[in-house]
Amino acid sequence: MIKLSDTQRKIVEHRDGALLVIAGAGSGKTRVLTERVRNLLENKIGHYRVLALTFTNKAAEEMRERLSDITDLENKAFIGTMHSFCMEVVNQRGSAIGVQGIPHIFSSTGDLIQILSDVFKVNPSLQSILIKKEKPQQFLGQVYQFISEQKRSLRSPEFFLEKPDESDEVNLSAYLYRQYDDMLRAQNAIDFDDLLLLTYKIFTERPKIADMYRRLYKFICIDEAQDLNFAQYNVLKSICGEQFKNVMMVGDPRQAIYGFNDASSEFMCSDFVKDFSPTQIELTENFRSSRAVIQVAQILEPDFQMEGILPIQGEVQAFCCANEQEEAEWVVKYLEELSRKGHNDIEGKVSWNKCAILARNRYVAKQIEEKLSKSSIPYYIRLTSAQESESELIKCFELGMRLLINPADYIHFQQLAKLLNVNNTDITLHKSTDDGNTILRNLYDCAMNSNRSKDSWHNCGDALLSAWKTLTDDNPNFLKALGILEKCAESTFENEIQQKEMVVNDIAMWKQHWKKYVSTSSYGSRTLTQFRNQVALGTTQLQTEKDAVALLTVHTSKGLEFDVVFVIGMCEGIFPDYRAIQKQGKALLEEQHNAFVAVTRSKRLLYITYPKFRKMPWGDIRAQSPSRYLTQMGIPIFSTK
């Protein structure tokens, strides 16, 4: 039995009625959330499931691991992100609002902007409007942003006018929203924003379905509730209706860092309180961070008051480096020294998986990534949520897989045709059949007549065709397909070491995706469509490496903790971000939350660095000043020289 404090036990044993838990960093939030789910499942009265919604796939995986001793867990609880839950709802109940079959998720922004571009191509009057734009791609990006904002505001395309008005940008964007949505549906596809919008429509337009979900899920638990946005909160309300109150929210308004995604802690702290009248409990004990880390965290967020702080002093230091190269070199050397010598405040050896390097954004991490790659230190990168294939061969395989499961997918057909050097005049092939294998065979035949090197491509082409043939939607022999491509790479790229390495790495990545999918699905229910959608949702991504340093952005570090944390690039204009400095107000407040999140990832040792000079992307060398947060925290700054 896990030991709980009196306050934690009160939360875990709470039964009926709404519950709001304000849980500071290191207060055991994950523990109480997990143990409450356990308590609800092990002390069931009647037949029901628990709906546990997490902010990240990693948090969901961690919760499932902690509850793995519960028999038949997957049938007793849904544990996953809100987007994963919405995907399940749309798959099972989408027909109630006209969504046929299992829709395919288009997750790449580039793919979605291409859809928008095609809207203009098929309409001469719209094309003339685009041609007049000084920066057409920028205009397309702005229209796509408008569409995304409407969906996040739960406004369907049918709310908007059917005729475009070139003189009115908002009216034109609204019309394009309708056309964009129609083109997506014609390809049996949806985007991420659709998952929430369609689920909301299902529950509000078909109240009997919402009522069925309320009976199925008697308790709802929501993690990281400070990062809910308008759409997510209203999807929750649409499930609950007027009477259902068994909702638990756990979060910390001091860690609200997703304002760029329209998230606001007000949905947890204000709307939830008004709509659900929850019992409110605050966790104020700290079970994670050293005294030194707590001290600087409290300077950044004065209302971060913790009781029962660990009796470990820890260490917080700041260093100024000559430039970004020296900063990266110093971090690598210090990591190596900690690994060799250890530290008094860390029990046992300082292994690599106890260490993390955090950057405000992925661009700041470039120099340190380069230095790590040349060192003997193992590391893994989580600078964005996406994992993409790098080699042409595996990109072709992936695009072909999309066409096998969705022959109507014209966007990815175009991308595959381009990779195969098939001319635009040959793209009429797509409309000649609704069979994915036939489309791929026709593309292959056209590729053989292109200017691509026939000998090299013939080997790859035959392998691709063979690999695609092993993939059927209801019985995909995915590992066999990858084996065919692996064998091809061995012979075709024997003398092209870099190309071969990219193919091998891509195949290893896709093997891991498949392995993860298999581990979370039952044998008879596996389909290629479901697998591809799970990859798009991020549920098949590798979450950690066994013994490696983590290279993260502040946003991808959310929910993680390490004995040793280095926060690099802590200078004005980087951290806080220059755009937040210009905007002031909420944007700058969120940057302070980012700084709070960064320092509280550390359990014991925290080292903050910044370069005195930075080389700008256009080549200029510019002097840097230390971040206002370093000044605010009052940490002495040492030179690395």
Tell me if 635 sits within 8 A of 296, measured CB to CB: yes
Tell me whether residue 46 is annotated as binding. no
Tell me whether residue 80 is annotated as binding. no
Tell me whether residue 30 is annotated as binding. yes
Q: Residue 29 is encoded by which pair of tokens?
A: 């939030």
Tell me whether residue 27 is annotated as binding. yes
Q: Residue 625 is encoded by which pair of tokens?
A: 């000043």
Cα separation, 181 vs 191, in Å, equals 10
Tell me if 604 sits within 8 A of 345, measured CB to CB: yes
> Which stretch of DSSP H or E encloses residue 638?
strand 637-639
Tell me whether residue 29 is annotated as binding. yes
Neighbours of 373 (CB within 10 A): 9
Q: In what order do the strands lie in the sheet with 49-54?
A: 77-81, 49-54, 217-222, 247-251, 19-23, 279-283
Q: Residue 342 is encoded by which pair of tokens?
A: 């250890």
Neighbours of 142 (CB within 10 A): 14
Tell me if 572 sits within 8 A of 588, measured CB to CB: no
Tell me whether residue 23 is annotated as binding. yes
Exposure class string for 421-433: b at 16+ Cβ within 10 A, else e: ebeeebbebbeee
Q: Residue 390 is encoded by which pair of tokens?
A: 């790098």
Tell me whether residue 615 is annotated as binding. no
Tell me whether residue 450 is annotated as binding. no
Alpha-carbon radius of gyration of the chain: 26
Tell me if 23 sits within 8 A of 253, measured CB to CB: no
Q: What's the residue count for the chain?
A: 641
Kindly list the distances between the CA atom of residue 65 and the CA atoms of 58, 69, 79, in Å, as whole numbers in the listed order. 11, 8, 11
Binding positions are 23-30
Binding positions for ATP are 23-30
